[in-house]
Amino acid sequence: MGSFRSIVAALLLATLSGCSPYGFSKQVSDINGSVQALNDSVTSGHKALVDDQTAHYRRALIANRSNVVMAHCEAVLRVARHVPTDADLAKKDDDPVAKPPPRQPCDVYLLADMNKSWLGPPPLPDKLTLSMKALTDYMGALAAVTNATDRDNYNAAVTKLGTAVSGIMTAAGGPAGAAVGAGINLFGWLLGNALDIQRFESLKAAVNKVGTPPKPGDGRPFDDVVQAIASSILALAEDRRSALTDDIGSLKLTLGHGVSEEVYRARLADIQSMAAVVESLNTADPQSAANALMLAHAKLVKAVNEYQPDLASLITTIGTLKDQVSALQTALAAASAPASSSKKGS
């Protein structure tokens, strides 16, 4: 009886001292949202870069009134019939799937480009995709361990079990159905607190491990993965910025008295569309979003290690993070060409 009392006392003390993972639920969920948005900006930024290069190619064709050839329109994807085998069934869902090689879409090209298999930017590097997956999976796991709904479901299950046990005892003619039900609820409460503590300890261990350099002089693992993604986004943004600024420069040289007002207006509109994207790329540095994300995680590590965590400071950092990731996402996904750009500028 003495040891039972001490277990209850220890659990009560642990509960009162704030060892609950759910206090971080909202913050982790918000950081998770920003990481998802960062992830989206890589894919949407890459797509926008492909679109930029297509628009750039078209502008060059129009400016030079080039002779073109139709190419890659006969490159049909033919897949052979494959009956599933035991080996297929043994494959795990996360086994890497062979990706088809990049291909240039059916379109008109310069004769010199006809046999090139790929003109646009290369697909995203596998290591970048792996880094984005590792980061989003980690944030998803933090969200899972701090998910307060799990605790609500657990509480509901304990209540149901207590009621069911009490009911069967009464039906069996047992004298103490209500007492047994209350006992189950107490057991459920104890087990629930033990599980909460296990979750909190797991949260604490994970964020500390990911937020601490493996050896002196190294970076924090979390920061290194975020930097790898940020540097790739920066390269993507730089690719877009260079291509667009070069196009603005070339098109600007054609503006003057020598062109009709209609052509001047069309080219100016084209320039303004590109300039708007360059402006948003100039003012949304991926490094700002990366810095805010690293700071948010460092503050999360600090908060879980503290007796009385400073959640207000963490919330402010997360707010900044959200704004910066959102600006970056908008800048990277912005279309640089007006809908009718391919038809004007001749």
Chain residues binding other proteins by CB under 8 A are: 125, 127-128, 130-131, 134-135, 137-138, 140-142, 144-145, 147, 150-151, 153-154, 157-158, 160-161, 163-165, 167-168, 171-172, 188, 191, 195, 198-199, 202-203, 205-206, 209-210, 214, 217-219, 221-225, 227-228, 230-232, 234-235, 237-239, 241-242, 245-246, 249-250, 252-253, 256, 287
CA–CA dist 43, 123 (Å, integer): 10
- Residue 161 or 295: the one with the smaller Cβ distance to other proteins is 161
**23 token code pair:** 């206090």
- Residue 107 or 202: the one with the smaller Cβ distance to other proteins is 202
**Residues near 117 by beta carbon (within 8 Å), at least 6 away in sequence:** 101, 102, 103, 104
**Residues near 120 by beta carbon (within 8 Å), at least 6 away in sequence:** 49, 50, 53, 54, 104
Question: How far is CA 176 from each of CA 35, 223, 227, 259, 288, rounded to the nearest angstrom?
Answer: 53, 58, 62, 97, 64
Shortest CB 37 distance to other proteins, Å: 19
CA–CA dist 290, 277 (Å, integer): 21
Which 3 state secondary structure label does DSSP give 67?
Answer: coil
Shortest CB 272 distance to other proteins, Å: 17
Shortest CB 246 distance to other proteins, Å: 5
* Cβ contact 49:239 at 8 Å: yes
Helix pair 311-333, 286-305: axis angle to 10 deg: 160
Question: Phi/psi of residue 70, each to 5°?
Answer: -85, 130
CA 167 from chain center: how many Å?
48
Shortest CB 163 distance to other proteins, Å: 7
**Rounded to the nearest 5 degrees, what angle is found at the Cα of 29, between the Cα atoms of 145 and 155?**
45
Shortest CB 203 distance to other proteins, Å: 7
- Residue 250 or 305: the one with the smaller Cβ distance to other proteins is 250
- Residue 161 or 335: the one with the smaller Cβ distance to other proteins is 161
Shortest CB 27 distance to other proteins, Å: 15
Asked whether the CA dihedral 225, 227, 231, 233 is positive or negative, the reply is positive
Shortest CB 329 distance to other proteins, Å: 19
Shortest CB 214 distance to other proteins, Å: 6
- Residue 233 or 337: the one with the smaller Cβ distance to other proteins is 233
- Residue 12 or 168: the one with the smaller Cβ distance to other proteins is 168
- Residue 72 or 231: the one with the smaller Cβ distance to other proteins is 231
Question: How far is CA 223 from each of CA 5, 163, 213, 317, 345, rounded to the nearest angstrom?
Answer: 44, 49, 9, 16, 46
- Residue 36 or 231: the one with the smaller Cβ distance to other proteins is 231
Encode 39-49: b = buried (16+ Cβ within 10 Å), e = exposed: bebbebbbebb
